[in-house]
Chain A
Amino acid sequence: MSYSDKIIDHFQNPRNVGSMDKNQKNVGTGIVGAPECGDVMKLQIMVDDQERIVDAKFKTFGCGSAIASSSLATEWVKGRTLDEAMELKNTDIVKELALPPVKIHCSVLAEDAVRAAIADVKNKVRATGSAKKTVTTA
C-alpha cells in the first residue's frame, strides 16, 4: 500500500506532538483505542475563557495513517471553539489525507479523541463551575 504525500508529511513532521498537564482545569484529555488493537491516541486541548481552543497536543501509538490523522486533527481544532470543534468529521480527515478504506478507522479514532477531549474539558468546567462562560454551552 502506498501513502499519500500528506500522510507522509504528517508522519515525518508531525504537528503538535507533546503533552499538557492533564490536571489543569482548562485542559481536556481524550485517550482512545487500545494497545492490543494496534492504535492508542491521546489528544489534548487547552481552552481559554471563551471556550476557544488555544492549543492542542497529541501522542499516538499506531500506524502512519493514525499518526497523520491525529496530527491533522490537532491542527484543525486549534482556534476553534469547543462547539465548532465538535463539528470535525472523520470524513474530512479521510478526504484531506486520502486515506484508503482500510485506514478509515484511523480517522474515526481521531474524531473520537477530539470528542473525548472536549467532553473532558467541559466536565471539568462544570464540576468546578469556575469558567465564567459555562452558561453559553448549556
Chain B
Amino acid sequence: MRSVYLDNNATTPVDPRVLEAMLPFFKENFGNAASRNHRFGWVADQAVEKAREQVAQVVGATGKEIVWTSGSTEGNNLAIQGVAGMYADKGKHLITCRIEHKAVIDPFKYLESKGYEVTWLEPDPKGRVSVDQVRAAMRPDTILVSMMFANNEIGTINPIAEIGALCKERDVLFHTDATQAFGKVLIDVEAMGVDLLSMSGHKIYGPKGVGALYVRRRKPRVRLQPLLHGGGHERGMRSGTLNVPGIVGLGTAAEIALQDMPKESVRIGRLRDRLWAGLSEHLTDIHRNGDPEHSLPNTLNVSFLYVEGESLMMGFSDIAVSSGSACTSASLEPSYVLKGLGLGDDIAHSSIRFSLGRFTTEEEIDYTIDQVVKCVNHLRKMSPLFEMVQEGVDLSTVEWQRH
C-alpha cells in the first residue's frame, strides 16, 4: 500500500479542482488586482472579489468583511495586535487560553512585554474553556477575548456561540482562531457573535501561503491597527499586492468545502470512529484525548500508554501522523497542549494525533489499525513500564532517576 496520510491538521494536499482554478492566474490572467485602469487588473480584481464571497459564505459573513492574509499566523497577529493597538485607550486587558496555537500565544506574550495584561484561562481536561471562566476573567478594562474554535492537536471545539454572546453583552471584542474548524464544521459569525475570525487555505485543500481574516463591519464596526503599512490595500488593514492565484485557490477550496460539508463531515466522522473502535478493540491501556462530545469530525488523539510516541511513528513509518512527544526538541518538553489538559507528561509522550481528510479511505483506516496495533504490541514487549504495570507496580510511586 502507498503511504497513508493522516496528518491533515498539519496541512492538506491541494484539491485538483483548486489547482485548475488557480492556474490561469499564474499565466494569462496575471494582472495586479489593484490596477484599476486596464483589463488585466479588472480580471484579477473580479476573481479576488468572487473569492471574497466564496470565503465569506463559509462563515456567514459578507465579502466586504474579508481581509486577505498570508495565513492564520498573520490573521491571528493582525487581529490580536490590531485590536490591542487600536483600542489601547479603552483598556489593556486581554483574555485567552493556554492551549491556543503558538500563533495566538506568542502575539499575546509580545503584548504582555508591551505593558498589556493577559489572563490565560486553563481548559478542562478535555480541552474546553467554559463561558463561566471567561465571564469570571472579564474586567472593565477588557478589550479582547481570543478563543480558538477548535484545537489543532485534540480537535476539541469550544462553546463559541456562548462566549460570543457574553462578549456582545459586555461590549468586548471576540476573536476566534478558526484555522482547523473553517470548512469542516458550521460557522456563523452572526449567530455566534464573532467579531474577528482567522482562516487558512492549506488546511482545506487550498494552497499554502494564503489565508483570510474576517473583520466585522457592523455592530460593531471593528477597526484594526495594521501590521503592514504601504499601499493601503484591504481597507488599509493589510497593505501588499494581493496573491491573486492563492486567493482564487482559497475561494475555490472554500466553496468546495462548504458544498461537501454535510456529507463529508459524516463520512470522515464515521472513519474516525472506525479508527477509534478498531484501536480500542485490539489494544488495552489506550486513552482518547479531547472531547468526543465536542470535536472536529476528522481528529483523533490517542495516548498509547507505556510506549513513546516517536517510536510509534518510527514503527509505522509509511503512515503519516504527528505526536505530542517532543523527543527531538532540545528542551525535551512534550506538547504544551496535552500538558495543558493536566493529564501528566507521560500521557503527552505517548500520544499520536490522527487527522483524517477528504482523501482518506476506509481501506487506509483498516490498514492503519492493523499497523498501529502491531507496533504498539511490539513496543510494549520492550517497554519496562508495561512490564512494571503487569507486575502490579504503581508507576506513580516509583522514584525515577531524572536527567
Q: Are both chains from one complex? A: yes
Residues of A with Cβ closer than 8 Å to B? 1, 3, 8, 11, 14, 17, 19, 31-42, 58-67, 102-103, 105, 108-109, 112, 116
The complex places the Cα of A109 from the Cα of B401 at a distance, in Å, of 10
B interface, size bucket: 20 to 34
Can you list, as one digit per residue, whether each of B363-403 has a CB less than 8 Å from chain A (1) or not (0)?
A: 00000000000000000011111110000000100001111
A42 touches B384 (CB 8 A): yes
How many residue pairs, one in A and one in B, have C-beta atoms under 8 Å apart? 102
- Report B-chain residues with C-beta under 8 Å of the C-beta of A59: 382-384, 387
Residues of B with Cβ closer than 8 Å to A? 306-308, 310-311, 314-315, 325-330, 332, 334, 344-346, 349, 381-387, 395, 400-403
Least CB separation from B346: chain A residue: A35
A61 touches B314 (CB 8 A): no
Q: Could you list some 13 contacts between A and B, CB below 8 A?
A: A17-B382, A33-B402, A35-B349, A36-B344, A38-B327, A40-B384, A60-B382, A61-B307, A61-B308, A61-B385, A66-B308, A103-B327, A109-B403
Least CB separation from A17: chain B residue: B382
A19 touches B387 (CB 8 A): yes
B308 touches A38 (CB 8 A): yes
Which of A11, A17, A105, A108 has a CB less than 8 Å from the CB of B381? A17
A11-B314, A102-B329 as given contacts; A36 in contact with B349, CB under 8 Å: yes
Extra inter-chain contacts (14) besides given A8-B314, A38-B349, A40-B385, CB under 8 Å? A3-B314, A31-B384, A33-B402, A35-B400, A37-B402, A37-B403, A61-B307, A61-B385, A61-B386, A62-B308, A62-B311, A63-B311, A63-B327, A64-B310
The complex places the Cα of A63 from the Cα of B349 at a distance, in Å, of 10
Least CB separation from A32: chain B residue: B401
Which of B314, B382, B400 has a CB less than 8 Å from the CB of A63? B314
The complex places the Cα of A35 from the Cα of B344 at a distance, in Å, of 10
Chain B nearest CB, measured from A120 CB (Å):
12
B403 touches A67 (CB 8 A): no
A35 touches B385 (CB 8 A): yes
Which of B308, B329, B382, B400 has a CB less than 8 Å from the CB of A34? B400
The complex places the Cα of A38 from the Cα of B328 at a distance, in Å, of 11
A41 touches B384 (CB 8 A): yes
The complex places the Cα of A112 from the Cα of B403 at a distance, in Å, of 10
A11-B314, A62-B327 as given contacts; A38 in contact with B334, CB under 8 Å: yes
Least CB separation from B387: chain A residue: A59
- Report A-chain residues with C-beta under 8 Å of the C-beta of B384: 31, 40-42, 59-61
- Report B-chain residues with C-beta under 8 Å of the C-beta of A116: 401
